Amino acid sequence: MIPAASKSLWFFAIISLVLLGVLVLMIWLAWSMQHVRFTVSHEGLRLQGDLYGRLIPLQSLKLDEAVVTNLNTDTDHQPTRRTMGTGLPGYAAGWFTLRNGAKALLYVTDRTRVARLPTTEGYSVMLSVTDPAALIAALRSQSESR
């Protein structure tokens, strides 16, 4: 048999690199899911741990409209479509469209304990935390001390 052309080897090499990149991305995603952190400071709310992390300044948060919600019963604010993010069973992070048509940045692992924080930027931030009321109170306290 005549040996295959080098084009076949290049094709195999490119496919292998793509698969390796996907594997590295999946490992990083699995690690970041366990290391997401929310920090309240005089600057605002810092979301750390994955691609969607950012600092949301206190003046951008509508803290008078912030509420604790249960996404199992609050049907208007349930995420329905992922526009740019990660949607796995028990983990939703990134940009989603809600049932009411609004846009939201989610970090949700427990749908029963979610702090919903509207912003002046036209989207809401929805975070699963152990005590959503305490997070909202901490943000309000930081806002009042400014």
Is 29 contained in some domain?
A: no
Specify the pTM: 0.82
Question: How many independent structural domains does the chain possess?
Answer: 1
Is 2 contained in some domain?
A: no
Tokens of 134: 């305490």
Is 134 contained in some domain?
A: yes
In this prediction, residue 7 carries a pLDDT of 80
Dump pLDDT digits (tens) for 68-123.
999 999 999 999 999 998 888 888 999 999 999 999 999 999 999 999 999 999 99
What does the alpha-carbon distance between residue 95 and residue 126 come to, in Å, rounded to a whole number? 10
Which of these, 115, 103, 102, 141, lies nearest to 38 by C-alpha position? Answer: 115
Is 21 contained in some domain?
A: no
What does the alpha-carbon distance between residue 77 and residue 129 come to, in Å, rounded to a whole number? 17
